[in-house]
């Protein structure tokens, strides 16, 4: 029985036999505040005599209808493709006690009529990723990252990099010719900043040895990433163009270094820098100073920067940080122009198992766009290893590293790349949509049915986007970026969407993830086999560690889709009338107090 308090509306049922005989239908365990308002609107009273089967059934049906309306039509179409490929059975009815007392027999063993070759390949992948994990640096939790973000400025420094001719040679070296702010105090942080500044010119001109003065050059925007020894990451946003003048001349690069991953925002800043530098270099300093003094914008917020421009007078520039900058740095269109759907899925599978991947292309912007795009496919997971979208030719030896990496190389470095003793890696030519080198098992890494669903949804991307939508909210999804993101999110929902059911809490309030129970609860043998390998990755370890350490529930698009997914599963409903009454009763109390 639930305890009652004076003056509060509580739900009570006389004795267990009466409660058991009622056989009340159960509602899903998670309801939004709007759902509960709907229940109140239906007139479901708090007295036990009025809690009849018809009223609860009506409420359940209406809530289900409301949830269906909340899911964008595009997402529903994607989900239907997965449902058709996957089949109905998703999770087993597996209790925690069954897991603890069950035999430790490996469900992915040869006894499940696997072929010898497939089982051997699976075992090799498992051993490989376990050994890789031991060599790779430890994961930094998202909690620490979030704390750091609160202390950040909009950017750390801004530099202009130019090419200077080597003495007595016809080649050029990139050098920093302008820098803001100046590094003055000899502190530890300043020394670390100086080391980063030394590396920046190489990333702004990874092809410095190939340059000669030119009269015409189309400006190019690209980005790179610097990873510190402690795992911290900084983005470099670059605009390469010819300076004002006539005749053949060498380009220069404007580069902003920031911890904030927000490409469009910094592209707008570079537009303003370019406009001012075209008039006078002296105008850049006060503009960047105003930016540095501006507050760090929260997601979805806009900051206003006051500046003065000769001829235009005082100006106010508005810079808005997107509410969700997850895709703001991403251009999937470039990725699909360079690669076929099948190749993209192979690369995605290789990154999921934290393998080494090398992109090769003719243009910096192509390397930058495609590298950031494939990393975005991993959401809600994060690539935890070396990530260099554009690798300077002088640093090409990095590809001999034994740990996982994703790097991009200009085509001019390809001959040198082929001569290096590179360990097993996937090498991708973005210009010809082919693999220069591969491990030949890329088609077998993902669960077969889910891979088929991925491929079908991506092949039909234009058809799915162009179908009619009956809601303004669907506009956010009905773009190539939105569709591709949702297709891959659904893959992760199907494979790990039930993770929250296996986060238990001990007496101290600490959360712990039940790994084996989580994996064995999946009905599909191929998904269990995939999870056995994927769960050894740093991506998965970091994802779970973050959820274990969080004091509040994780938020984001993935969590929304997971919630919708769990509501579809009958096995995730709360078992037992007592739990149902307790949950509904508490929410009715909350509504009563609020009213």
> pLDDT per residue over 302-348, tens digit each?
888 888 887 777 888 888 877 666 777 788 999 999 999 999 999 99
Assess if residue 200 is contained within a domain. yes
> Omega of the bond prior to 169 within 30 degrees of 0, cis?
no
Taking residue 36's Cβ as centre, other Cβ atoms within 10 Å add up to 17
Please name the residues in contact with 93: beta carbons below 8 A apart, sequence gap of 6 or more: 571
Taking residue 577's Cβ as centre, other Cβ atoms within 10 Å add up to 16
514 and 550 housed in the same domain: yes
130 and 160 housed in the same domain: no
Strand, helix or coil for residue 537: coil
Strand, helix or coil for residue 308: strand
Q: How far apart are the first and last CA of the chain?
A: 25
pLDDT band at 56 (very low <50, low <70, confident <90, very high): very low
Assess if residue 343 is contained within a domain. no
pLDDT band at 591 (very low <50, low <70, confident <90, very high): low
Smallest CA-to-CA distance from 556 within 146, 110, 127 is with: 146
91 and 136 housed in the same domain: yes
128 and 166 housed in the same domain: no
Distance of CA 394 to the CA centre of its chain: 30
Assess if residue 40 is contained within a domain. no
DSSP code of residue 136: S
169 and 301 housed in the same domain: yes
83 and 207 housed in the same domain: no
511 and 491 housed in the same domain: yes
Please name the residues in contact with 352: beta carbons below 8 A apart, sequence gap of 6 or more: 378, 381, 445, 446, 534, 537, 539
Structure tokens at 223: 């980005």
> What's the pTM?
0.73
Strands lying side by side in the sheet with 220-227: 172-180, 157-165, 252-258, 233-241, 220-227
Helix (H) or strand (E) segment spanning residue 409? strand 405-410
As a whole-number percent, the residues of the chain with pLDDT over 90 amount to 24
Out of 273-282, 351-360, 480-489, which region has the weakest mean confidence (pLDDT)?
Answer: 273-282
In this prediction, residue 494 carries a pLDDT of 93
280 and 131 housed in the same domain: no
DSSP code of residue 4: -
> What is the pairing mode between strands 313-320 and 302-309?
antiparallel
User: What is the rounded average pLDDT of the residues 536-557?
Assistant: 84
Structure tokens at 369: 């766009």
In this prediction, residue 141 carries a pLDDT of 43
CA angle at residue 444 from 105 to 88, to 5 degrees?
A: 65
89 and 208 housed in the same domain: no
126 and 186 housed in the same domain: no
pLDDT at 562 over 70: yes
Out of 148-157, 192-201, 251-260, 377-386, which region has the weakest mean confidence (pLDDT)?
Answer: 148-157
Domain boundary among 274, 298, 321: 321
Assess if residue 129 is contained within a domain. yes
254-283 per-position pLDDT tens digit: 999 988 878 888 888 898 888 888 888 788
Residue 426 φ/ψ, nearest 5 degrees: -100, 115
Assess if residue 55 is contained within a domain. no
pLDDT at 288 over 70: yes
Structure tokens at 543: 């994802």
In this prediction, residue 42 carries a pLDDT of 43
Q: Which residue has the higher pLDDT, 570 or 422?
A: 422
Out of 100-114, 116-130, 214-228, 279-293, which region has the weakest mean confidence (pLDDT)?
Answer: 100-114
Assess if residue 591 is contained within a domain. no
Q: Which residue has the higher pLDDT, 221 or 24?
A: 221
Mean pLDDT of the chain: 75
Helix (H) or strand (E) segment spanning residue 269? helix 263-279
516 and 563 housed in the same domain: yes
Out of 402-406, 449-453, 576-580, which region has the weakest mean confidence (pLDDT)?
Answer: 576-580
In this prediction, residue 423 carries a pLDDT of 80
Q: Please report the beta strands in 458-545, taking only residues with DSSP state E, as ranges in sequence order.
A: 503-505, 511-513
In this prediction, residue 329 carries a pLDDT of 74
Handedness of CA 511, 568, 594, 576 (dihedral sign): negative
Report the CATH number at residue 311.
3.30.450.200
Cβ(290)–Cβ(272) under 8 Å? Answer: no
Residue 556 and residue 135: Cα distance in Å, rounded? Answer: 31
| For the ranges 1-15, 100-114, 418-432, the one whose mean pLDDT is highest | 418-432
Structure tokens at 487: 């297709």
Assess if residue 336 is contained within a domain. no
Q: Which residue has the higher pLDDT, 478 or 515?
A: 515
In this prediction, residue 252 carries a pLDDT of 93
The total number of structural domains in the chain stands at 2
> What is the pairing mode between strands 252-258 and 172-180?
unpaired
If you count them, how many residues does the chain have?
595
pLDDT band at 365 (very low <50, low <70, confident <90, very high): confident
> What is the pairing mode between strands 503-505 and 434-437?
unpaired
Assess if residue 6 is contained within a domain. no
In this prediction, residue 535 carries a pLDDT of 92
Domain boundary among 321, 341, 366: 321
316 and 181 housed in the same domain: yes
Domain boundary among 321, 337, 352: 321
Task: Tell me which long-range contacts 548-555 makes (C-beta under 8 A, separation of at least 24).
Answer: 548/503, 548/510, 548/511, 548/512, 548/513, 549/141, 549/143, 549/511, 550/143
pLDDT at 543 over 70: yes
Handedness of CA 254, 256, 261, 264 (dihedral sign): negative
In this prediction, residue 570 carries a pLDDT of 65
Q: Which domain holds residue 502?
A: 74-96+114-140+447-465+476-567
Out of 27-31, 274-278, 491-495, which region has the weakest mean confidence (pLDDT)?
Answer: 27-31
Smallest CA-to-CA distance from 361 within 327, 408, 405 is with: 408
Q: In sequence order, what DSSP letters do the residues of 42-100 get, joined into one string?
A: TT--SSGGG--HHHHHHHHHHHHHHHHHHS-HHHHHHHHHHHHHH-S--B----HHHHH
Please name the residues in contact with 424: beta carbons below 8 A apart, sequence gap of 6 or more: 355, 356, 439
Distance of CA 161 to the CA centre of its chain: 31
């Amino acid at each position: 029985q639930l305890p009652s308090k004076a003056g509060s509306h509580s739900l009570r049922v006389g004795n267990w036999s009466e409660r058991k005989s009622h056989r009340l239908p159960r509602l899903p365990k998670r309801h939004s505040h709007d759902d509960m308002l709907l229940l109140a609107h239906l007139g479901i009273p708090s007295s036990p005599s009025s809690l009849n089967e018809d009223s609860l059934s009506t409420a359940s049906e209406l809530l289900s209808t409301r949830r269906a309306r909340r899911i964008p039509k595009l997402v529903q179409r994607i989900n239907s493709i997965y449902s058709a490929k996957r089949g109905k059975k998703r999770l087993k009815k597996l209790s925690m006690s069954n897991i603890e007392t069950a035999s430790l027999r490996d469900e992915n063993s040869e006894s499940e009529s696997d072929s010898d070759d497939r089982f051997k390949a699976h075992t090799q992948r498992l051993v490989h990723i376990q050994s890789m994990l031991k060599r790779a640096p430890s994961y930094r939790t998202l909690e620490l990252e979030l704390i750091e973000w609160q202390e950040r400025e909009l950017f750390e420094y801004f530099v202009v990099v130019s090419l200077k001719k080597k003495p007595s040679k016809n080649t050029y070296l990139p050098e920093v010719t302008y820098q803001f702010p100046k590094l003055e105090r000899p502190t530890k942080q300043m020394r670390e900043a100086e080391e980063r500044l030394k590396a920046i010119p190489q990333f702004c001109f990874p092809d410095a040895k190939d340059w000669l003065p030119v009269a015409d050059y189309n400006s190019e925007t690209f980005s790179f990433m610097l990873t510190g020894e402690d795992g911290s990451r900084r983005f470099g946003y670059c605009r390469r163009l010819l300076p004002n003048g006539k005749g053949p001349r060498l380009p220069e690069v404007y580069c902003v270094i920031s911890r904030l991953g927000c490409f469009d925002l910094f592209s707008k800043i570079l537009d303003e820098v370019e406009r001012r530098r075209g008039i006078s270099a002296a105008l850049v300093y006060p503009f960047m100073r105003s930016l540095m003094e501006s507050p760090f914008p929260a997601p979805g917020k806009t900051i206003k920067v006051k500046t003065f421009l000769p001829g235009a007078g005082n100006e106010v520039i508005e810079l808005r940080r997107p509410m969700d900058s997850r895709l703001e740095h991403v251009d999937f269109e470039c990725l699909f122009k360079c690669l076929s759907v099948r190749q993209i899925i192979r690369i995605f599978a290789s990154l999921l198992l934290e393998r080494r991947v090398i992109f090769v292309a003719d243009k910096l912007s192509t390397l930058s766009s495609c590298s950031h795009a494939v990393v975005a496919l991993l959401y809600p997971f994060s690539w935890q290893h070396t990530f260099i979208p554009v690798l300077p030719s002088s640093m090409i030896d990095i590809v001999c590293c034994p740990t996982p990496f994703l790097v991009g190389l200009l085509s001019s470095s390809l001959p040198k790349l082929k001569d290096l003793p590179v360990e097993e890696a996937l090498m991708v030519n973005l210009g010809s949509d082919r693999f220069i080198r591969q491990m030949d098992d890329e088609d077998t890494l993902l669960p077969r049915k889910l891979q088929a669903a991925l491929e079908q949804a991506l092949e039909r991307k234009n058809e799915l986007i162009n179908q009619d939508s009956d809601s303004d909210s669907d506009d956010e999804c009905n773009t190539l970026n939105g569709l591709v993101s949702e297709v891959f999110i659904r893959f992760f929902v199907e494979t790990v969407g039930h993770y929250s059911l296996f986060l238990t809490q001990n007496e101290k309030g600490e959360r712990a993830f039940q790994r084996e129970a989580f994996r064995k609860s999946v009905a599909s043998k191929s998904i269990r086999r995939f999870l056995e390998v994927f769960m050894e990755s740093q991506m998965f370890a970091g994802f779970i560690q973050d959820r274990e350490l969080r004091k509040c529930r994780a938020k984001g698009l993935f969590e929304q889709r997971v919630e919708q997914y769990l509501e579809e599963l009958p096995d995730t409903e709360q078992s037992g009338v007592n739990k149902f009454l307790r949950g509904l009763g508490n929410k009715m109390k909350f509504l009563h107090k609020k009213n």
